[in-house]
Chain A
Amino acid sequence: MLKIEDLHVYYGGIHALKGITLEVPENKIVTLVGANGAGKSTTLRAISGLVPVARGKITFRGEEITRTKTAEIVKKGITLVPEGRRIFANLTVLENLNMGAYARTDKEEIKRDIQRIYEMFPRLKEREWQAAGTLSGGEQQMLAVGRALMSRPALLMMDEPSLGLAPLLVKEVFRIIKDIYSKGMTILLIEQNATAALQVADYGYVLETGNIVLQGPGKELAANDEVKRAYLGKA
């Protein structure tokens, strides 16, 4: 569904991605794992058009989107749940969800989708009229995911969805990811919590200072000695 070939990105004066090639097939969960600064976020931001691509090619459903504007990429069906949630703190929960559907014009369907999000996250329904900035960290993450789903993406990209959450909530986040996936979504996931990410992923890539150093099915990677030592904190 999504193909990246030889992607180079310079970011703040450094060569952040040094020729990455990867693929996200339809209806799969693919994860990128790696240390801080390996280029995981930069990869997602390049796909979304938030950072300029120096060289290489990104294609989505056979169509090149390498230098397309962010708003257009969202309309084509790729939505990013950004790192740190980035909900609109000054808007209500409902307004945040409506912002997710900004490009859509099917009002009735939008209303139905909002109800579906509320079924998925009942806490959001309770706080519908509250300013999103007053939500707890976990609730904000749910809102960020719900808001992204409101655009009806074909490919959902998530940047560190479990970052800064309590262990119980981290489990909840992974349950949600599996739940969304089981409803037919394609997911590209970034996680520092490599163990959990590789457990849910069909396929994984290991990034190191802007290069892909290892790849394979999620469970295989999780069992790989090198990966264990470097990223999973096991000897």
Chain B
Amino acid sequence: MTGEIFLQNLANGISLGSLYALIAIGYTMVYGILRLINFAHADLLMVAAYVAFYGILVFTLPWWLSFLIAIVVTAILGVSIEKVAYRPLRDAPRISVLISAIGVSFLLENLGIVAIGARPKSFPRPEDIVWNINIGDISFLSLTIIIPLITVILLVAVTYMVNKTKIGTAMRAVSRDFETASLMAVDVNKVVSATFVVGSSLAAVGGIMWSLQYPQIDPLMGVFPGLKCFIAAVMGGIGSIPGAMLGGFILGMGEVFLVAFMPELSGYRDAFAFVILIFILLFKPTGILGENVVEKV
């Protein structure tokens, strides 16, 4: 492998890893607070992509405005899903909420197929943000730089929010103990909603950037990235935000380099993530940075 190809793959790996990391955070935050794998999270990518698509092509809005609207709509949808499908089941057995999440996921996917049609549409690439960069012999898309850059900014912002702000501290407190948090005058429902706003907005950004990078969108486009990001979150340690970031980057890099080093395995690219999941669950179910707090009683 030459230096250039290596750099090319490294850039691709970072870029894919960034997308995984962004989306994985949504899984891990919701899990941290509700102990729920939010299967509908994957479909939020698709919703964001379609809102942006219609914004640009049908309503001919500027790309940045369409993206902004897509993020807001997705955040509202995420919060509404929690209110309608998860909140009424908060005291129910966890399996009921999980089934509800799977139901919401199927609902969104099939609504998409019925309302929009299953045929893939090609996502517009605004020239302002997508262009070719040539350095010497290497040529790459501007996205290769923009995606990791935006991701890093968002990851820093989320980490700051969770660790340093009042609402972030409340999120961590609620994730530990709903009832005691309410004894601190915390409105638990508001904190849960805030968590969904953050997770869903990140999913929207992830979905838009995903569509820019792989500009073919269809109602089931969220399924595979969603599953992989779920795996990334489990690998990093579900419930841990740094874990989700780490898991996302490892998975993205791993996938790209697996194909780069062993091109004959490229057909198994998607299987790679699932093999990792099986090994993680067998040997380190808490993940790389999973919670392992020693507690004195």
By a CB distance below 8 angstroms, the chain A residues around B177 are 86, 88
A79 to chain B, nearest CB (A): 7
B297 touches A164 (CB 8 A): yes
Closest to B168 in A: A95
Select from chain B the residue with minimum beta-carbon distance to A48: B183
Query: Which residues of chain A (44-63) have a CB below 8 Å from chain B?
Result: 48, 50
Is A99 within 8 A of B170, CB to CB? yes
Taking CB as reference atom, which chain A residue is nearest B179? A50
User: Least Cβ distance of B83 to chain A in Å?
Assistant: 17
Q: Could you list which residues of chain B lie within 8 angstroms of chain A, going by C-beta atoms?
A: 166, 169-170, 172-173, 175-177, 179-188, 291, 293-297
Expressed in whole angstroms, the Cα–Cα distance for A71 and B189 within the complex equals: 11
- Pull 9 A–B residue pairs with CB atoms less than 8 Å apart, ordered by A: A71-B186, A74-B184, A88-B176, A90-B176, A91-B176, A99-B181, A102-B166, A102-B184, A134-B294
Known: A133-B293, A133-B296, A136-B296. A82 touches B185 (CB 8 A): no
Q: How many residues of A contact B (CB 8 A)?
A: 33
Does the CB pair A82–B169 fall under 8 Å?
no
Contact indicator per residue, chain A 79-102, by CB within 8 Å of chain B (1) or not (0): 110101010111100010011101
Contacts of A74 in B (CB 8 A): 183-185
- Contact call A89/B180, Cβ cutoff below 8 A: no
Q: How far, in Å, is B148 (CB) from chain A's closest CB?
A: 29
Pairwise interchain contact B172-A71, C-beta atoms closer than 8 A:
no
Complex interface: chain B residues within 8 A of A40 (CB): none
Contacts of A35 in B (CB 8 A): none
Q: How far is the CA of A74 from the CA of B188 in the complex (A)?
A: 14
Q: How far is the CB of B241 from chain A (nearest CB, A)?
A: 12
Most buried by A among B170, B183, B291: B183
Distance of A151 Cα from B183 Cα, bound (Å): 10
* Residue A19 at the chain B interface, CB threshold 8 Å: no
Q: Are B183 and A79 in contact (CB under 8 A)?
A: yes
Query: How far, in whole Å, are A98 and B185 apart by their CA atoms in the complex?
Result: 12
State whether B172 touches A90 (Cβ < 8 A): yes
In the complex, A166→B294 CA distance in Å? 21
A100–B169 CB distance below 8 A: no
Question: Are A137 and B297 interface neighbours, CB within 8 A?
Answer: yes
Report A-chain residues with C-beta under 8 Å of the C-beta of B296.
133-137, 140
Chain A residues near B180 (CB-CB < 8 A): 82, 86, 88
Is B185's CB under 8 angstroms from A89's CB?
no
A80 and B180 alpha carbons, distance in the complex (Å): 9
- Closest approach, in angstroms, between the C-beta of A217 and any C-beta of chain B? 30
